[in-house]
Chain A
């Protein structure tokens, strides 16, 4: 996307959501294939100073403390340089308070020396409720406070914030008018955006303006078992089998029981997801972007048939399932690009149920659970199982709910042993055998 690597620098008092934003942004950028890594200076500090005693460490007149903290920042910047110049990184997120102009100057000089673009993300918030909630959610459980009780931890942390307040120099419209930055005010109520330089910064700004922290859950599931599923065929546009219809009904009941406020329901434009949604008796929205991966020439074939007709293709797919594109079809990599607007809208929304397909669900899941391109195509997304994702602290809680309606298993594991000098064909052949032998794959007659 950009030739010049980008250094994102967070700015803000403690408990303003900097690490939350850093981690989320990093997850998003990696998912859209921009190699990104976060460097949290607090962690470097914890490495350096094994045991945290109290807020005194952060007092502005604590010379020893200041020295250590500066060294940690420099150590982190060093690792940033390595990531961006030697390790193929594209974006580094430098997560620290960076509340003084002096510190930011140091970073700007560093970036200039190394040919990095700099983009600041400042979070400003004075709402005491939000700050208190942040402290409870992520500070109390952090290593600094493992041996503290809640009250003491909160009191100490509030004093810690105070240490930074006096020297805090927020980004200024005038003084910093030549810098590129976004100032996020009151958790997204308002934004000030200055001098967006390029595509990646524009995407980052768009993303940051769409995320929110209102509690909600995202439900992901596949359509009910389809006729083609039973036949062991991939793709196509078949309807639900009898068991699939049963699942749809069970899904309806499950949704009712969850008593979800203002649930939005999304489906693909394929018959099997729509039929599933129909059983819920609520309005739903069809997205073509949620259609299953296009298997091109392999559409509606069984894995065994693919293996016979296109043995080389079959083997190549197992070699790099993420980037492999079916002839005249798509790859997982293509899917991710196609699904990006869905993710963006999921970020904007609150409670949503997405009824989709195996490959699509793997892509969405990989985004929420921060899975790599390597892992993505092998994530387990069984039929007739709902995954409930609830954002929590810096990540996502996952609950898997099996709705107890039998279905075939459509999952193919990654070939377990990879011999680099063995012909790929033989390994893939093995996985097909295993796939066929699995008891749940038995045909309807059994």
Chain B
């Protein structure tokens, strides 16, 4: 007897109901079931080959598309265990005490991996360490086999001295290990550190020893890739992502269309044209873009009139993406918030309850938006300088990706009209500059209501698209046999550079002024 269906009130998803209690159905995030089994991504490579950069970027991407992922950086465990780094001698292969500590750190990290994947609903764990010997990798494979985890290796191979020197300057020289050193000394010491590993380095061997493993070898920062035995959807997506990212310096500019007629009336959605002030903004934007003096700027808009009109004022070629259209308000399209509250009071309340998952009747949710906008993100990764002229909800989605914001935060990110956000990748994250172009506009932002009653969660979370902020790395080492003496608190490592959730991203100023959001020193993550 086929079960009756009810429609989940927030997400508008049809699920079979038994006794009016919605059971857990399966929803898709654009891929098949990833429920079983979890995956451990294992980084491989000499120091300064971009392993941590890849780990964190990949983790950010996977979390954004709704796959709970976390990085486990063994270097951090080592810094917890060994309070003060003295020199590269620690990494010499004949330094028995150090070898022991390093081994224990790796094991502690693996224990945490296991906890994350088996008890904390993690789906992917990224084990970020050199893992340069077969012995270490065999140990990890054994660990995977025992626990029923899939293992996927990502090896970064690079011998270009310029790239390596650049890496060392960007992220090593300023890391905690070298806080008491000057740059030259730090660089020298780090190079000797690399040498300690090089002697015992056994790269992945696709022809013989490692021919049955699943891995991707990234050679010379993406010039070449060797891909072996992709097992499933998630590995295929990971490979596609890795093949599209690059490290060329560039900036991404995000802004909304100029103020529109509907904005003036407080109406949502629709396809109206620019207001007078909106047109003024478009002119100001053109001037701003010229001043930036960019090489080869690509301009993208949605297929809605207001964003196209804005681009038109720039007098440069632009590309229209339907995927950048504003969130579909369904039956609420073109209504004011007051009208929505009157005509659909329940819907209005439900949306405030869970703005990320809430789908307008016959419309979309932020969750749907993330899925829709994913190809845009992929292409943004491929490109260099791009200006994206889009809409409030869409811009929040894109921003959440670049700044590693969770599903909870995403619908409340501040993206005011007439303000350009300039994002520049730096070290492991993204620098954000907010530039108001000094043209007045209405404020379309609604804060999270304080009195929102969070009802019992009837939300379908498993396998749904739920951006998560990449989790904080574990601090406490679980290393038996080591001194449990007082551990000096290390400055919490931020996984993103601009995360303080109380920091508003939009600053409207009187004058056209660049307001740099604080840019923390690159997080101190090295091996």
Interface check B27, CB cutoff 8 A: yes
Cβ A192 vs Cβ B225 within 8 A: yes
| Stretch in A124-132, A202-210, A412-420 with 4+ CB within 8 Å of B | A202-210
Whether A278 lies near B5 (C-beta < 8 A) is yes
Given the interface contacts A202-B243, A285-B33, A337-B322, does A190 sit within 8 Å of B227 by beta carbon? yes
- CB-CB under 8 A from B27, the residues of chain A are 269, 285-286
| Bound-state Cα–Cα, A245 to B3, Å | 12
Does A60 touch B at the CB level, under 8 Å? no
Contact A206 B228 (CB under 8 A): no
- Write out the residue numbers on chain A whose beta carbons fall within 8 Å of the beta carbon of B243: 193, 196, 202, 205-206
Q: Which residues of A contact B226 (CB under 8 A)?
A: 190-193
A251-293 interface (Cβ within 8 A of B): 264, 266, 269-271, 274-275, 278-279, 283-289
Residues of A with C-beta under 8 A to B333 = 328
Q: Does A423 contact B (CB under 8 A)?
A: no
Residues from chain B with a CB closer than 8 A to the CB of A274 are: 5, 14
Q: Are A286 and B28 in contact (CB under 8 A)?
A: yes
Which among B5, B26, B239, B271 is the interface contact of A209 at CB below 8 angstroms?
Answer: B239
Bin chain B's interface residue count.
Answer: 35 or more
Residue from B33, B223, B227 within 8 A of A195 (CB atoms):
B223
CB contacts under 8 Å to A, within B366-423, are: 368, 371, 379, 382
Cβ-defined contact, B322 with A286, below 8 A: no
Per-residue B-contact encoding for A364-401, CB less than 8 Å = 1, 0 else = 00000000000000000000000000000000000000
Query: In the complex, what's the smallest C-beta–C-beta distance from A213 to chain B, in angstroms?
Result: 15
Q: Which residues of A contact B2 (CB under 8 A)?
A: 245, 248, 275, 278-279
Within 8 A of A (CB), among B199-253: 206, 223-230, 233, 236, 239-240, 243-244
Q: Is A345 an interface residue (CB 8 A)?
A: yes
From the candidates B3, B16, B382, name the one contacting A199 in the complex (CB within 8 A).
B382
Q: Which of A189, A334, A341 contacts B228 (CB 8 A)?
A: A189
Judging by beta carbons under 8 Å apart, are B227 and A334 in contact? no
Cβ-defined contact, A192 with B26, below 8 A: no
Interface centre among A239, A264, A287 (most CB of B within 10 A): A287
The yes or no answer to B98 lying at the interface (CB within 8 A) is: no
- What 0/1 pattern do residues 216 to 247 of A give for CB contact below 8 A with B? 00000000000000000000010100000100
Interface residues of B in 341-386 (CB under 8 A from A): 362, 368, 371, 379, 382
- Checking A195, A199, A270 against B224 with a beta-carbon cut-off of 8 angstroms, the contacting residue is A195
Residues A206 and B240 in contact in the complex (CB < 8 Å), given A190-B226, A288-B368? yes
Q: Which residues of B contact A191 (CB under 8 A)?
A: 225-228
C-alpha gap A284/B13 in the complex (Å): 14
Q: Does A194 interact with chain B (Cβ within 8 Å)?
A: yes
The 8 A CB mask of B1-45 against A (1 = contact, 0 = none) is: 011010100000110100000000111101111000000000000
Q: Are the CB atoms of A288 and B5 closer together than 8 Å? A: no
Task: Give the shortest distance, in Å, between A227 (CB) and chain B (any CB).
Answer: 14
Q: Is the CB of B30 within 8 A of A285?
A: no
Chain A minimum-CB-distance residue to B383: A199
Could you tell me if B28 and A285 are in contact, using CB atoms closer than 8 angstroms? Answer: yes
Distance, CA A271 to CA B5, complexed state (A): 8
CB distance from A26 to the nearest CB of B (A): 21
Within the complex, what minimum Cβ distance (angstroms) separates A329 from chain B? 10
On whether the beta carbons of A278 and B26 are closer than 8 Å, the reply is no
Mark each residue of chain A from 323 to 352: 1 if its CB lies under 8 Å from any CB of chain B, else 0. 000001000001001000100010011000
B371 and A271 form a contact (CB under 8 A): no
- Interchain CA distance A177-B223 in the complex, whole Å: 9
Contact indicator B206/A190 (Cβ below 8 Å): yes
The 7 closest A-B pairs by CB, nearest first: A191-B227, A193-B225, A278-B2, A287-B28, A279-B2, A274-B14, A194-B224
List 8 interface pairs A-B (beta carbons < 8 Å), by A numbering. Answer: A191-B226, A202-B243, A209-B236, A275-B5, A278-B5, A286-B28, A345-B31, A348-B233
Residues of A whose CB lies within 8 Å of any CB of B are 173, 177, 189-196, 199, 202, 205-206, 209-210, 237, 239, 245, 248, 264, 266, 269-271, 274-275, 278-279, 283-289, 299, 328, 334, 337, 341, 345, 348-349
